[in-house]
Amino acid sequence: MLNFDAERFLKIERGAVALAAEIDAAAARYVAEGIDSVFFLGTGGAAILMYPAAALLARHSRLKVFTERSAELVLTDHQSLGSRSLVVIPSLSGTTQESIAALDFCRARGARIVTLVGHADTPLGKAADRAFVNFAEDDTSSESFYIQGLLIAAALLRHRGEANLHEVVTPHLAQLPRALLAAKASFEPRAARLAETFRHEPYHIVTAAGSAWPQAFYYGMCILEEMQWIRTRPVHASDFFHGTLELVEKGVSVILLKSEDEFRPLAERVEQFARQYTDKLTVIDPAEADLPDIPQAFRALISPVILATELERLSAHIGHLRNHPLTTRRYYKRVAY
């Protein structure tokens, strides 16, 4: 595979999986202490990667669940944030300024703070009540954060006696990293073909629903925009027919990510429409991935993880063909803003 180290990938994703017992123990303690709300915070892409976990909790638990942008939260008087709140803040670097400010703000309200970081010896690693540490880099962090978020949601539900996701997830965690590697390798030839198709595209509409939506949002904003300077329009499939459909015509690229959950029909509705009006529809369906030893019940929970691991291959090929390394920036961490 192009510019890819399989052993490094396996080490990082196994590191995320290995946090399961620690996360479960922490969740048990927080549930016993009577938390009544969970805030998934973060900044930029890291915050988006917590959306699937938040959605699972919101659908299956009586906990109050919030996804808030760190920069906005500190400007509010959020009435549900307090001493019975659990706050989850992901930050790969552990140094994101907006997230540090949010941690301080939440601590002043008496909340319990959990951080997900790549390095323990960082402001967010050291200041949290509990820091879960798994080294990763940009090309491996999405899967790692998705897995950790899923483990948090499943553990909270288990200890509150509200859903059996923990029983669905836990037996197959050990197989997940290698299964993702197999999916990545299988997607490699298509990634190369898509990159050749996309290399000159000036603009993409990126859409999805359910657990796939966060990955569509993330890929459009953090990869195509930030890392490749390609204009995108991420739009939820539920909103597609309330504005964005009028932009679809021959020659317009529409990238549709499907999920394997109950929201799949929303994506299929977009697919049926787009096939009639554009000659540049790309559908990426995690159901087509060959994941050895991963049963359907678990697959339905990890659609964004599968999509992230496949799309990383597309990113590698696009960056190579466009002679635009994924690490190249004009403004991000280069100028004051």
6-172: CATH topology: Rossmann fold (3.40.50)
Encode burial over 161-186: b for 16+ CB neighbours within 10 A, e otherwise.
Answer: eebebbeebbebbeebbbbbbbbbee
Q: How far apart are CA 28 and CA 160, in angstroms?
A: 8
**CB 144, CB 12: distance < 8 Å:** yes
Q: How far apart are CA 118 and CA 207, in angstroms?
A: 29
Q: Enumerate the H helices of the chain as residue ranges.
A: 6-17, 20-32, 45-48, 51-60, 70-73, 97-108, 123-127, 138-160, 165-169, 176-198, 213-218, 264-277, 296-299, 303-321
Look at residue 153 and tell me whether its pLDDT is greater than 90. yes
Class for the domain spanning 176-321: alpha beta
Q: How many CB atoms lie under 10 A from the CB of residue 38?
A: 27
Which residue has tokens 């938040």? 54
Could you tell me the strand order of the sheet in which 37-40 lies? 64-67, 37-40, 85-91, 112-117, 130-133
pLDDT in tens, 33-88: 999 999 999 999 999 999 999 999 999 999 999 999 999 999 999 999 999 999 99
Tokens encoding 284: 């990426």
What pLDDT shows up at residue 292? Answer: 86
Question: Once rounded to an integer, what is the mean pLDDT over residues 114-125?
Answer: 98
Contact partners, residue 172, CB within 8 Å, separation at least 6? 293, 294, 295, 298
User: Given this chain, do its domains 6-172 and 176-321 carry the same CATH topology?
Assistant: yes
DSSP for 316-332, written as a single string: HHHHHHTT--TT--SST
Torsion of CA 167, 154, 157, 294, to 10 degrees: -30
pLDDT in tens, 196-208: 999 999 999 999 9
- Give the start-to-end residue ranges of the domains of the chain: 6-172, 176-321
Q: Given pLDDT bands bounded at 50, 70 and 90, which one contains residue 157?
A: very high
Q: Given pLDDT bands bounded at 50, 70 and 90, which one contains residue 337?
A: confident
What pLDDT shows up at residue 45? Answer: 96
The residue among 185, 102, 178, 152 whose CA lies nearest residue 301 is 152
DSSP-derived 3-state class of residue 95? coil
What pLDDT shows up at residue 101? Answer: 97
Look at residue 333 and tell me whether its pLDDT is greater than 90. no
pLDDT in tens, 244-303: 999 999 999 999 999 999 999 999 999 999 999 999 999 999 999 999 889 999 999 999
Question: Once rounded to an integer, what is the mean pLDDT over residues 163-174?
Answer: 92
Q: How far apart are CA 39 and CA 168, in angstroms?
A: 24
What pLDDT shows up at residue 55? Answer: 97
What pLDDT shows up at residue 328? Answer: 96
Q: How far apart are CA 237 and CA 209, in angstroms?
A: 5
What pLDDT shows up at residue 128? Answer: 98
Helix 138-160 × helix 303-321 angle, to 10°: 170
pLDDT in tens, 227-244: 999 999 999 999 999 999
